[in-house]
């Protein structure tokens, strides 16, 4: 930029011209440095590899003595290639452990020759008479319990519990039976007969020494105390969610799968002898009528509970006596000790009681049944009469629902709540002792069993 002659300029204009010349000199110096830096970068890039030369892949490391051989000439399938994807490992085989000889002998000694009738106590007040002591709390299995059962023994109390890992634990509540190496020193014996969660454990009063269990891996196992062994009597290609024995035949097992099919397994035949399309989704529970041996109730995730007549099922499947609809999944449906009532537990936050000759009258009571992902779902069970229903709640306590009414109506209400400082977890699953009034086992998601007794 040419500047005007300095003659005739004011002081301000002369100062301005000097600033312009100084700034132009600074910009010129910066341009020279930028050109020098750009030339240096181009020179360094030219010294490297040519841009049109492809990058070489690193050679695979091979041992000097290793030679490539043709799988076809070696008559090997392509799966033997080292580059083939590894095949998944087969599922682990369940541990075949021997039953504890001391526990087996104690249970066999307690087996009565003629099973008595299930006890009933119409005047029993569960809210006032049940207590929990520190000695009656035991961790029976690790992790969450899905199924619990008090074995039908007249002179002894043994609780069996199955968890989500496939373990089954036995707790001898009455006495301390010990084996060598201090196994069972606290009255608890643990085994692993299954590969998946164990939702149900059953034992028939006429043959309590034979204990059956099922798992989500499709296994049905027999724990024979007389032989002191675990045997898998049925392996299905689908999960088994519920299991029940026929009242008049201990070897006839009814079980439900995830597709809504009800199946009959005859242990003597060693196969499934009958299948019925009972529901549209998972069967969560199966229960027989205590008086009418041909009648059973099922509950399902398809939002229904159904009552069936086995005599009709033999002639025509899918024909139920009664369909009891709910708003959400039905987790359980159990007959009362007399068989006059049926109690259901649903995820629609209700416990409903049905009665009448056709179970056409009902009463619904609100109950929070939202246990979440990590806690087993609630299932209300009957006690030792047609009055008391037991169900857990989210406050680490047991709700007692009292049922009453007459032939024309039925009523139900929360009458009491069992609380104890020793019950340190939410009780989810329950089982009442069939021969001892006031002996109630409740299981938690932490593997503990709390055994309430009569004060």
Average pLDDT estimate for 37-58: 64
Flag whether 265 is in a domain. Answer: yes
Number of domains, the chain: 1
Flag whether 61 is in a domain. Answer: no
Q: How far apart are CA 431 and CA 334, in angstroms?
A: 12
Q: What is the pLDDT of residue 96?
A: 43
Strands 410-418 and 397-405: antiparallel
Instruction: Show the domain range for 378.
Output: 142-177+187-385
Q: What is the CATH number of the domain that holds 166?
A: 2.130.10.10
Dump pLDDT digits (tens) for 440-454.
999 999 999 999 999
CB 100 within 8 A of CB 189: yes
Strands 295-300 and 283-288: antiparallel
For residue 76, pLDDT over 90 is answered with no
pLDDT band for 86, please (50, 70, 90 cuts): low
Flag whether 267 is in a domain. Answer: yes
Q: How far apart are CA 6 and CA 408, in angstroms?
A: 122
Flag whether 48 is in a domain. Answer: no
Residue 455: strand, helix, or coil: coil
Flag whether 307 is in a domain. Answer: yes
Q: In DSSP terms, which residues pair with 160 in a beta bridge?
A: 149, 170
Distances (CA, A) of 337 to 299, 379, 407: 18, 16, 17
Dump pLDDT digits (tens) for 372-394.
888 999 999 999 999 999 999 99
Average pLDDT estimate for 144-168: 94
Q: What is the pLDDT of residue 94?
A: 46
Dump pLDDT digits (tens) for 215-240.
999 999 998 777 777 899 999 999 99
Flag whether 400 is in a domain. Answer: no
Flag whether 413 is in a domain. Answer: no
Flag whether 234 is in a domain. Answer: yes
Residue with tokens 């406050």: 395
For residue 298, pLDDT over 90 is answered with yes
Q: How far apart are CA 65 and CA 454, in angstroms?
A: 78
| Predicted TM-score (pTM) of this structure | 0.76
Quick one: which of 375, 388, 373, 392 has its CA closest to 430?
392
Average pLDDT estimate for 82-107: 58
Q: Which of 111-115, 171-175, 294-298 has the lowest mean pLDDT?
A: 111-115
């Amino acid at each position: 930029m040419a500047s005007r002659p300095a003659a005739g300029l004011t002081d301000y204009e002369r100062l301005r011209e000097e600033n312009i010349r100084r700034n132009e000199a600074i910009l010129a110096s910066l341009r020279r440095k930028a050109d020098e830096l750009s030339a240096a970068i181009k020179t360094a890039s030219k010294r490297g590899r040519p841009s049109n030369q492809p990058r070489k892949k690193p050679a695979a490391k091979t041992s000097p003595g290793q030679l490539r051989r043709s799988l076809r000439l070696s008559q090997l399938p392509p799966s033997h290639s080292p580059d083939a994807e590894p095949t998944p490992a087969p599922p682990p085989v369940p541990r075949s452990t021997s039953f504890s000889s001391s526990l087996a002998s104690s249970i066999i000694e307690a087996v009565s020759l003629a099973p008595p009738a299930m006890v009933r106590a119409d005047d029993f007040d569960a809210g006032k008479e049940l207590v929990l002591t520190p000695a009656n709390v035991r961790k029976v299995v690790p992790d969450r319990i899905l199924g619990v059962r008090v074995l039908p023994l007249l002179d002894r109390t043994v609780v069996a519990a199955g968890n989500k890992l496939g373990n089954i634990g036995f707790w001898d509540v009455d006495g301390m039976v010990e084996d060598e190496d201090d196994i069972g020193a606290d009255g608890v014996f643990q085994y692993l007969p299954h590969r998946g969660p164990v939702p149900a454990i059953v034992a028939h009063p006429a043959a309590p020494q034979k204990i059956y269990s099922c798992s989500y891996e499709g296994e049905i196992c027999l724990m024979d105390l007389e032989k002191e062994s675990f045997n898998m009597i049925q392996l299905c290609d689908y999960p088994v969610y519920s299991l029940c024995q026929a009242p008049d035949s201990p070897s006839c097992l009814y079980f439900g799968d995830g597709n809504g099919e009800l199946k009959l397994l005859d242990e003597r035949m060693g196969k499934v002898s009958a299948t019925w399309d009972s529901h549209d989704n998972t069967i969560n529970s199966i229960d027989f009528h205590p008086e009418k041996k041909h009648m059973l109730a099922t509950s399902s995730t398809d939002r229904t509970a159904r009552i069936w007549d086995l005599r009709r099922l033999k002639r025509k499947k899918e024909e139920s006596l009664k369909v009891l609809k709910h708003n959400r999944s039905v987790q359980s449906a159990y007959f009362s000790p007399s068989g006059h009532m049926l109690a259901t537990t649903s995820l629609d936050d209700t416990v409903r009681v049905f009665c009448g000759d056709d179970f056409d009258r009902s009463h619904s009571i609100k109950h929070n049944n939202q246990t979440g992902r990590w806690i087993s779902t609630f299932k209300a069970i009957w006690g030792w009469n047609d009055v008391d229903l037991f169900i857990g709640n989210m406050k680490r306590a047991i709700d007692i629902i009292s049922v009453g009414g007459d032939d024309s109506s039925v009523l139900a209400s929360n009458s009491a709540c069992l609380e104890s400082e020793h019950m340190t977890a939410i009780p989810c699953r329950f089982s009442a002792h069939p021969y001892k009034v006031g002996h109630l086992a409740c299981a938690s998601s932490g593997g503990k069993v709390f055994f309430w007794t009569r004060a």
